[in-house]
Structure 1
């Protein structure tokens, strides 16, 4: 990561270093000194680009939220059946044992207590959930998915499976619980003529 960071300008290095540290340590554990060391930037550079830790953290959280939203849209917004797109979302490559860089922020009391820091987290999770509900509705409208499904409830279940799967995987030090949860949900959602 360090060599990739060094090819960026100081502002970008600070944001990327903060993203990594927030993912690993949370807001309290992400000190300005740790950010500066990870970014290879001095204190003057940090405060030239950002008013302080909170402004820098907000930029990093927004970047992580934008990436999460874009990754979801990359699989949910393409052609294909509703089931195939949900399957692609659930099976896309993830760093399961590290957890979700956005989802982990929901466990950070400092982030959740501060409305401005919480806003990008809440917004992107809501956007992904809404996009999933749209895909489920498309599957219902086309007759592909079993009638009677509630798109909002299914979208919440898909998102909860991913986020809960991260927690189970981290708790056991194995991605097996994540994979098992995903397979179980896909089996429940599978159209009658399809087995995942």
Structure 2
């Protein structure tokens, strides 16, 4: 299934220059070099030429960029070739989602600096583990997950569904009822039932398509 993680990460230079200099950014090409670095061709756009100049200057001084080449440039757009360390987000995702030559890919950065990472996964177990790893290892709390046809499961719903499963709510017969689960999770029964049904429907829609 195709999964897109939407998240903010202050230490990523792509996100930083969008927020700091009010530019637009697009990743045109991404590949792993022979010495295990990340090579990217990045398009930087702004109606303000000074913003592009400031963004390029920031990148040229960025600690983890080893090579920066401005391929082309005019008043509103710059095309830049960058060689950098592999992104820690990339490294976490690839540990769960490698399928031949398919790599996790940052598709875009929006105006608020939020990044959209796309990866192909084969189970909700991996979806959940990536979310947990991003939170625990990189301290990223603002994460949402889009699965396939635009359906969205936020990390809170993933956590609740996982807890319900592990506590035996879906066992036959049930090991725990809705009211008891409600007390443990501190969520009103009606709200909890709705969260579980919506999250479960998203999982089933993907599994049974």
Whether TM exceeds 0.5 here: the answer is no
Larger radius of gyration: 2
- TM-score when scaled to structure 1? 0.32
- TM-score when scaled to structure 2? 0.30
Q: For CA contacts below 8 A with separation 6 or more, give which structure has more relative contact order.
A: 2
